[in-house]
Amino acid sequence: MGICLDELRLLVIRPTLKHLRAWSAGMENLLLGTAAQESQLGFHLKLGRRHGLGLYQIQPHTHREIWDKFLIDYPALASKVRGLASQRDFLDHPHSELTTNLRYATAIAWLIYRAAGVERVEDGNIRAMAKLWHRHFHHGPVASARDYVRSYTGLVLGDATDSARQYSAAPLPAQAQAPTRQAPRSAPAAQLSAQTAR
């Protein structure tokens, strides 16, 4: 297992998206699903000989393209994203930020979707998120939208039986959707109450 789901959601993804003025429940869940599929929520930061790096397995050439072809036209946004990166290391080793800086990597992952024109994500529709991931984020022929659904169901929704299931050619159930209103598995209020009771 990688990073705690609730901590990744509440301490990394949500504040990063709010900093970029891009938060929505759908985008937050799309990025959680992307991290689940790409690195098992941070279990792997570099997979063998693959070129992807970090929580979202972002490739260096994709990272460069975000800066050179997209952010160049949005200087205010570029300044916000640059503010998430290290002062000096970014200049010498910009791609290492993808593995060592979770908020910066999250911003770049969001920008990959944003540069592709993804602005609204239907919250709870896992199939729709899987299609967005496969169309705009995934590189290579190895994984499919079905794999994203399986990773999301197993790691984000917590259905271990589904995530452990072997890939099969069987079609997905007609309703592969998350409940539209789902509380985090360990609600922050419950944790706070427990701490103050001590």
The larger pLDDT score, comparing residue 47 to residue 21, is at 21
Q: Is residue 179 a contact partner of residue 153, using CB atoms and an 8 Å limit?
A: no
Q: What is the pLDDT of residue 22?
A: 97
The confidence score (pLDDT) of residue 192 equals: 42
User: Which domain range does residue 18 map to?
Assistant: 5-197
pLDDT in tens, 116-149: 999 999 998 999 999 999 999 987 667 899 999 9
Number of domains the chain is built from: 1
- Tell if the pTM clears 0.85, that is, is over it: no
Q: 48: pLDDT confidence band, cut at 50, 70 and 90? A: low
Nearest CA-CA partner of 13 in 4, 1, 29: 29
Q: pLDDT by residue (tens digit) across 159-198?
A: 654 444 333 333 444 444 444 444 344 444 444 444 444 4
| pLDDT on residue 193 | 41
Give pLDDT tens digits for 53-107. Answer: 999 999 999 999 999 999 999 999 999 999 999 887 787 788 999 999 999 999 9
Mark residue 20 as left, alpha or beta (left: phi above 0; alpha: psi -120 to 50; beta: remaining). alpha
Q: Of 169, 181, 176, nearest to 144 (Cα)?
A: 169
Q: Give the model confidence (pLDDT) of 19-45 as tens digits.
A: 999 999 999 999 999 999 999 999 988
